[in-house]
Structure 1
Amino acid sequence: MRVTLPGTGAAATRRATRVSAAAVLLAGLLLPYASSAPAQAAPPPRTTSGATAAVPAASTAAAADDLTGDIAFSVPSGTFQGQVSVSLSTAIAGAEIRYTTDGRPPTATSALYQGTPLRFTRTTELRAQAFTGGSASGKPGTAVYAARDTTTAHDLPVVLIDSYGAGKPGRDYVDTATMIFDPGGGGTTSLAAAPAVATRAGVHLRGQSSASYEKAPYRVEFWDNDNDDADYPVLGMPADSDWVLRGPYPDKSLIREALVFDLGKEMGLQAPRYRFVELYLNTDSGPVRSDDYMGVYMLVETIKNTKNRLDLKKLDEDDTTLPKIQGGYIWKFEWMAAEEPTLPCGGASSTCWNYLEVVDPSPLQPQQKEWLRTYIQDFHNVLHSQNFADPNTGYRAYIDVNSFVDQLIVYELSRNMDANYRSAYFYKDRDTKIFAGPLWDYDLTFGVGGFFQNDQTSGWQYQQTRQPVANDWFTQLLRDPVFVDQVRARWQTLRRGLLSDSALQSRIDALSRPLTNAAQRNFQRWPNLTTRTIGFFTTPTASTWQGQVQYMRDWMLRRAAWLDTTAAWGGPTTSPSPSPSASPSSSPSASPSASPSPSPSPSPSKSPSPSPSPSPSPSGGAPGACSATIRVVSSWPGGFQGEVTVRAGNSAVNGWTVSWSWPGSQAVTQVWGGTRSGSGSTVTVRNESWNGSLAATASTTFGFLANGSAETPTATCTSP
């Protein structure tokens, strides 16, 4: 869908943005529940390989020359204080110059430039065109001048957006003057400096729940004189027209998303480049003032199929037959907020996907849509079939398994509240399988969110019970012992390097250090460090920004420690190859808790050491039977984490069931490593498909979270 900007004519149309789905999305989300230091330079941007992006200055000059066209402006685009005087000229012989200051392109009846400098005291978009004989001659030109009344020094790059008094951008694009200032050799910059980029740009509000924040996210699209895309290199990142400003708001460390992007890139996943910036957004007709400061943002590349972004084969409109129709494609799952074109799922509603939105190509031809839908449906059907794990004809024939393994690790380490449900991207090139990624939207992570237990350091995020399900692909993959073993082996390898405790802490230090001064300004503008609930989400509280960073650090280390346990990805990494004819067992499941955790779980600053209460005597049995013991791993006011060890007797067992009864009002809220059934005070847990067979005297473990005071009741174990 496209809209015409007021006064620009039919040739200058822009894409319309979606009507906000935030209210619908949040209603669905809530439905199941009640309830002056030395300046420091910013780090260089990273490419997908981790290298600094080299961008020629000629790219910026070319885009700027295209904007000025055949008009010479005596003062280049930038900011001014008080008043600016601008003279116009052109090299076109015998031409007169006509101009506008209201954003409209000049016509033969627009104001005639008389040779006297034009004087401006307000932010102005000066557009000019040469005319000969009453007809436009040569290229039009534009310069943008922003009035300012602040000189604050910044040690991060600064982005200025001025809407010419049109108010705060909404869901439709608003014409703006947009400028970017990069710290110079002294390590600081200000709005008084010469901008590295100064251009026309369309800006609109983006996001779902985040769109309701005072510190809102924005989409920025650089425009040329015809309102078409204009590619500018930005802060060391390759030239493009499309960018996103993401303002960390519930993430009071300011670095959660940047951390995930950096880790994902080094693991081999696709992730956008970014730079930390500070934003000024001027929405009134006055000069830019200090109260237009909006805080620390991330300026991020959008996900799109271009040479400098996700570089896939381009599908043209006439690529509707083999082999070209096979790619490239980008799609995502956007729970309760998917835009057309969407792909329907065929089959049982209990297993089908929902909210699958095709991102690229756009427009999507009917033949391309049907080819992609059929391909994804074939993969989905195989994943739910009896022979889903067959190494030749099963799911491995359709997906790049390594990317799915790494995506799962990123989801679970961060406990992304929206894992698998929203901003869950996938892509397929013409000659490849399906890849997981690129990474996007990781602010509700590392203890921020509060829904679906995502603020707990124990348990599995993929087992969240949000309905309707967006997709169950990872749940199905985890039925395969070989896939589970591949995840476990990859995790253990990463823990010896990229994801070791020391490496994670060093990375947090490197990300947070350049933000020290900017964070002070951010939280002077948004004093929410001790606010528990932001929007609909629970967040950690601390009296300082440094305390917020420390909370994230501690939470992450505790989470990694839990993933190191045998209930998760610790232990040996050998699993039998799946039999091609074996029938899949039931998918892992978890019963929903009565309500979300209202706040991050109280816990020590270091990974808790297991301090079990005295274990009861294990239950015994005849040869071939099994025994089970319960221990408390950690506890906090109102809840605790437990671990159950299941051990075979003198003979092997092929499946086990553990039961116990609580002595009081305790209630299990989540189980991993087993499938729970029953209700009330009696708990029954059966094995998963991958841990039911135990050799004589061998053991396995499963874990659980529970409400109430910590107890270790006697457990019984039976085996078929």
Structure 2
Amino acid sequence: VFMEEVILETSNLPIVIINTEVGQSIPNEPKIGASMIIIDNGEGMQNAVTDVSNLESIDFDGAIQIEIRGATSNCCFDKKQYALTTYDEVGEKDNVSLLSMPKENDWILNGFAFDPSLMRDYISYQLSLKMGQYASRGRYCEVILNGNYQGLYVLQEKLKADDNRIDINKIDPDDNEGKSLTGGYITKSDKTEGIDVAAWYMDNYNGWQTAFIHEHPKPDEVTSLQNQYIQDVFFDLEREASAHDADLENGYPAIIDLPSFIDFMIVNELASNADAYQYSTYFHKDRAGKLRAGPVWDFNLTYGNDLFSWGFDRSHTYVWQFDDGDNMGAKFWRDLYEDPTFKCYLSKRWLELTAPGQPLHPSEINTLIDQVHDNTKEAVARNYARWGISDDYEQHLVAMKRWIYDRVSWMTIQMDNGQNCFGESVPKLVINRINYHPMTEDGDGEKDLEFIEITNAGSSTVDLTGIYIGGTGLVYQFPANSLLEAGNSVFLANETDAFKEAYQFLPFDEFSRSLNNGGQTISLLNGFGMLIDEVTYSDEAPWPIEADGEGYFLVLTDLDTDNNDAANWDIENTLPYITLSNVSDPVVSVYPNPTNERVQINSFSSLESVMLYDLSGSLIKELKAQHNSLSLDLQHLERGIYILHIRTDKQSYKRKLIIE
């Protein structure tokens, strides 16, 4: 294989420049020290290696620790994959945003091992995101290591427990009983190597076994009680799936989040992923939540591609990967597919996603492929030259598109009509009150006072068995056999005792995790994953901003209106006969906001002090006051978001201040 020396000067993609300490080679492990600079002048702009001297072109410039990742690709692929961690000036892990992705410290440079298209992973993760399921976000880039061009990569998120990645409550070693024991966990079925030792094995229909490995907590951190708990969840799933028990109280729908399992199967089967179910197969379970499948991961042997030089050819258009006699994974995958109820919902979702204009329609996938091609074609040519790849890239993409059309056609024939699935009808339950950012005098414990109200807006009593809040970040499942009469409502609170003390009555129950002060989507689903109601609220206009920490909560003005329309929401500070705040509006006013030079603070009560903090919690300025108003000079401060702590002779308040 002839490999050219490629000198990178400019690129339409971000350029990542890595230099290891004293130029040492990067080992498989442990990570070694290096510096990394990322050059990015923005979308549609050219980036040049010489831009390292232009501060406005620098997306990141700092210390990292880096190692080679991927056992198979490391041993058998010249172009290496890398895992890296970002560090600050004092040697501590540093959560940073790279190329506009959410802040974290663990990242991956994916070089697309064994994939001549240089896009199979990327487009698969993009499809998952378009379907509403989290997948690793990434940006294409070109990499220079110790002065040598390495080719085209995607800088992407490592899968881990994080609010912006796999959003679960991180379980601690002390969480060994009650609700605390129920999560959160990240588990994967995968190869056993290094610290990835099998926690347990499950039989598959090939007559051999699938290894299950703890990803969070790590194998050397998980307690025996935690190991037994999450293992029992998987074996309960195996038992109920094998029995084809679709009962909402005791069957597999009580154990798993059907939408995530269905979407996971769809993405992997669409791609005919030769490793699916047996390797790189992730699951996660939040505290008090259901077991969820995903995120999807490792799609190099997909869309007709395989390790052909090793004699493998498994990614066909005409097979189910859970039943192809190879990497079939645990038995519950095939058992779920063969269950009539599960297959009906699988078929329904497949037909929705492959309809014209939807993410998995062949023309939509082909458009995505074309977009990636147009964005990366210059870098692909350099990558092919650098690594001596002789494939016809354009013809490979043509064949890949044809393969996708054939695959979608075959899968559609295998599906049912997706009509009249068991348990498909949903009751008229409405999310009608949301207290996402309560106000307290000292700002402490405000999350404990969060609540949502759900009202039965129908004309008959609703059995709440199986109904739950879907997705991640907010977790709740109604107890079996709970009934809600027509016209009645239930309050779900963050913390029962705090709710009772503040509002003088008991909530129906507690949810797990908390509501997001910046806004989020709350999805109410039945036990089979059918949408009952969904609200996406925000702390920004046109949503009422007074609900953002100013003593008010959101209330739907009419149960028959669209509760995703901000115009149909108002604010209140009372529950029936219960006063949440005994102050009139406005309590304090801060204007102009946003501002760039000065802000005026007025209060009905006498001001005592005003403290200004940045988002890290550092005190920037403190002023004493003895009147009802004061003016604050802001000209010396950088643009950004700050928090004002305003104390009067009656109460304390917090206000968000934006400096432009």
Q: TM-score range by the shorter chain?
A: 0.5 to 0.7
Q: Please give the alpha-carbon distance, in whole angstroms, between the structure 1 residues aligned to 2:202 and 2:27.
A: 39
Q: Is the 8 A contact 2:37 2:59 kept in 1?
A: yes
CA distance 1:176–1:326, shift in 2 (3 Å): same
State how 1:666-685 maps to structure 2 within 5 Å.
none
For residues 635-666 of structure 1, the C-alpha deviation after alignment (integer angstroms, 9 at most, x for no partner) is xxxxxxxxxxxxxxxxxxxxxxxxxxxxxxxx
Who is 1:477 aligned against?
336
CA distance 1:347–1:302, shift in 2 (3 Å): closer
The Cα shift of 1:193 comes to 1.3
Residues 1:550 and 2:407 are matched in the alignment: no
Who is 2:199 aligned against?
343
Who is 1:419 aligned against?
276
Q: Please give the alpha-carbon distance, in whole angstroms, between the structure 1 residues aligned to 2:423 and 2:234.
A: 25
**Residue of 499, 502, 523 corresponding to 2:360:** 499
**Residue of 508, 516, 522 corresponding to 2:369:** 508
**Residue of 205, 208, 215 corresponding to 2:71:** 208
The Cα shift of 1:353 comes to 5.3
Q: Is the 8 A contact 1:452 1:465 kept in 2?
A: no
The Cα shift of 1:368 comes to 1.8
The farther-off stretch of 168-177 and 550-559 is 168-177
The farther-off stretch of 172-181 and 269-278 is 172-181
Q: Is the 8 A contact 1:180 1:198 kept in 2?
A: yes
CA distance 1:352–1:185, shift in 2 (3 Å): closer
Q: Is the 8 A contact 1:481 1:577 kept in 2?
A: no
Q: Please give the alpha-carbon distance, in whole angstroms, between the structure 2 residues aligned to 1:344 and 1:560.
A: 35
Q: Please give the alpha-carbon distance, in whole angstroms, between the structure 1 residues aligned to 2:126 and 2:239.
A: 34
Give every structure 1 segment of 4 or more consecutive aligned residues whose post-TM-superposition deviation is greater than 4 Å: 345-353, 450-453, 570-578
Residues 1:272 and 2:128 are matched in the alignment: no
Residues 1:397 and 2:397 are matched in the alignment: no
**Residue of 342, 354, 365 corresponding to 2:223:** 365
CA distance 1:452–1:465, shift in 2 (3 Å): farther
The Cα shift of 1:260 comes to 0.7
Helix, strand or coil for the counterpart of 1:564? Answer: helix
Q: Is the 8 A contact 1:335 1:470 kept in 2?
A: no
Who is 1:260 aligned against?
124
Helix, strand or coil for the counterpart of 2:47? Answer: coil
The Cα shift of 1:325 comes to 1.4
Q: Is the 8 A contact 2:362 2:404 kept in 1?
A: no
Helix, strand or coil for the counterpart of 1:230? Answer: coil
The Cα shift of 1:169 comes to 3.0
CA distance 1:339–1:361, shift in 2 (3 Å): same
CA-atom RMSD in angstroms: 2.7
Q: Please give the alpha-carbon distance, in whole angstroms, between the structure 1 residues aligned to 2:254 and 2:102.
A: 34
Q: Please give the alpha-carbon distance, in whole angstroms, between the structure 2 residues aligned to 1:258 and 1:348.
A: 29
Q: Please give the alpha-carbon distance, in whole angstroms, between the structure 2 residues aligned to 1:185 and 1:378.
A: 48
Q: Please give the alpha-carbon distance, in whole angstroms, between the structure 2 residues aligned to 1:440 and 1:406.
A: 13
Residues 1:229 and 2:93 are matched in the alignment: yes
Q: Is the 8 A contact 1:492 1:570 kept in 2?
A: no
Q: Is the 8 A contact 2:210 2:278 kept in 1?
A: no
Q: Is the 8 A contact 2:351 2:418 kept in 1?
A: no
Q: Please give the alpha-carbon distance, in whole angstroms, between the structure 2 residues aligned to 1:251 and 1:180.
A: 25
Q: Please give the alpha-carbon distance, in whole angstroms, between the structure 1 residues aligned to 2:36 and 2:256.
A: 41
Amino acid at match of 1:488: S
**Residue of 466, 485, 488 corresponding to 2:326:** 466
The Cα shift of 1:335 comes to 3.1
The Cα shift of 1:172 comes to 1.8
Q: Is the 8 A contact 1:563 1:570 kept in 2?
A: no
The Cα shift of 1:553 comes to 1.2
Q: Is the 8 A contact 2:94 2:105 kept in 1?
A: yes
State how 1:32-111 maps to structure 2 within 5 Å.
none
Amino acid at match of 1:556: I
Q: Is the 8 A contact 2:260 2:293 kept in 1?
A: yes
CA distance 1:350–1:391, shift in 2 (3 Å): farther
TM-score for the superposition, normalised by structure 1: 0.53
**Residue of 171, 175, 192 corresponding to 2:29:** 171
CA distance 1:351–1:430, shift in 2 (3 Å): farther
Amino acid at match of 1:370: Q
Who is 1:561 aligned against?
409
Who is 1:239 aligned against?
103
Q: Is the 8 A contact 1:426 1:436 kept in 2?
A: yes
CA distance 1:204–1:352, shift in 2 (3 Å): same
The Cα shift of 1:346 comes to 7.7
Q: Which has the larger radius of gyration?
A: 1
**Residue of 337, 347, 351 corresponding to 1:488:** 347
Who is 1:180 aligned against?
38
The Cα shift of 1:351 comes to 7.6
Q: Please give the alpha-carbon distance, in whole angstroms, between the structure 2 residues aligned to 1:341 and 1:352.
A: 17
For residues 422-448 of structure 1, the C-alpha deviation after alignment (integer angstroms, 9 at most, x for no partner) is 110000001210111011111111011
Q: Is the 8 A contact 1:345 1:352 kept in 2?
A: no
TM-score for the superposition, normalised by structure 2: 0.58
For residues 116-172 of structure 1, the C-alpha deviation after alignment (integer angstroms, 9 at most, x for no partner) is xxxxxxxxxxxxxxxxxxxxxxxxxxxxxxxxx966011101111212221243322
Who is 2:240 aligned against?
382
CA distance 1:331–1:392, shift in 2 (3 Å): same
Residues 1:330 and 2:186 are matched in the alignment: yes
Who is 2:381 aligned against?
520
Q: Please give the alpha-carbon distance, in whole angstroms, between the structure 2 residues aligned to 1:342 and 1:516.
A: 41
CA distance 1:179–1:347, shift in 2 (3 Å): closer
Who is 1:220 aligned against?
84
Q: Please give the alpha-carbon distance, in whole angstroms, between the structure 1 residues aligned to 2:208 and 2:250.
A: 21
For residues 206-263 of structure 1, the C-alpha deviation after alignment (integer angstroms, 9 at most, x for no partner) is 1121122111111011123554311221000112110011102422221111111111
Q: Is the 8 A contact 1:339 1:357 kept in 2?
A: no
CA distance 1:239–1:391, shift in 2 (3 Å): closer
Q: Please give the alpha-carbon distance, in whole angstroms, between the structure 2 residues aligned to 1:387 and 1:420.
A: 19
Q: Please give the alpha-carbon distance, in whole angstroms, between the structure 2 residues aligned to 1:324 and 1:406.
A: 28
Q: Please give the alpha-carbon distance, in whole angstroms, between the structure 1 residues aligned to 2:280 and 2:44.
A: 39
Q: Please give the alpha-carbon distance, in whole angstroms, between the structure 1 residues aligned to 2:32 and 2:117.
A: 31
Q: Please give the alpha-carbon distance, in whole angstroms, between the structure 1 residues aligned to 2:174 and 2:85.
A: 27
Larger RCO (alpha carbons 8 Å, 6+ apart): 1
Who is 2:286 aligned against?
429
Amino acid at match of 1:559: R
Which runs of no fewer than 5 residues in structure 2 stay unpaired?
Answer: 1-5, 53-57, 425-660
Amino acid at match of 2:324: Q
Helix, strand or coil for the counterpart of 1:323? Answer: helix
Q: Is the 8 A contact 2:353 2:359 kept in 1?
A: yes
Q: Please give the alpha-carbon distance, in whole angstroms, between the structure 2 residues aligned to 1:341 and 1:224.
A: 32
Q: Is the 8 A contact 1:343 1:356 kept in 2?
A: yes
Q: Is the 8 A contact 1:201 1:222 kept in 2?
A: yes
Helix, strand or coil for the counterpart of 2:97? Answer: strand
**Residue of 421, 443, 451 corresponding to 2:300:** 443
> How many residues of Structure 1 are paired with residues of Structure 2 in the alignment?
405
State how 1:540-619 maps to structure 2 within 5 Å.
542=392, 545-565=393-413, 568-569=414-415, 573=419
Q: Is the 8 A contact 1:337 1:355 kept in 2?
A: no
CA distance 1:309–1:405, shift in 2 (3 Å): same
Who is 1:10 aligned against?
none
The farther-off stretch of 255-264 and 194-203 is 194-203
